[in-house]
């Protein structure tokens, strides 16, 4: 998995908080190479090089739901 435990925990916490106000998360710059994380409108969570990078469009990790993301990273739901 590409995120550290601390990154995954922080991102998941932010996702849950944003869900309470009907919003989705988009995080850019998870590493020096421009890695991004996005929650899509269908609830999928995608981590990859999605914009402004030589590897644009490359998906590194993909989860069908937030719960799948949390389960893979061992986060409390």
Domain residue spans of the chain: 5-72
- The H or E element that residue 5 is part of is helix 5-19
CA angle 59, 4, 46 (to 5 degrees): 25
Summary mean pLDDT of the chain: 86
Tens digits of residue pLDDT in 9-44: 999 999 999 988 988 888 887 776 778 898 998 989
Reported as a pLDDT band with limits 50, 70 and 90, residue 73 is: very high
CA distances from 7 to 24, 47, 54, 67, 70 (A): 17, 12, 23, 16, 12
What pLDDT, on the 0 to 100 scale, is given for residue 41?
87
Helices vs strands, H then E, count in the chain? 2, 4
């Amino acid at each position: 998995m590409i995120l550290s435990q601390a990154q995954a925990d922080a991102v998941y916490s932010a996702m849950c908080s944003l869900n309470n106000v009907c919003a989705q998360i988009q995080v850019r710059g998870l590493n020096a190479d421009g890695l991004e994380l996005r929650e899509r409108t269908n609830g999928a969570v995608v981590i990859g090089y999605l914009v402004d990078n030589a590897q644009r469009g490359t998906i590194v990790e993909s989860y069908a739901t937030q719960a799948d993301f949390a389960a893979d990273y061992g986060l409390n739901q």
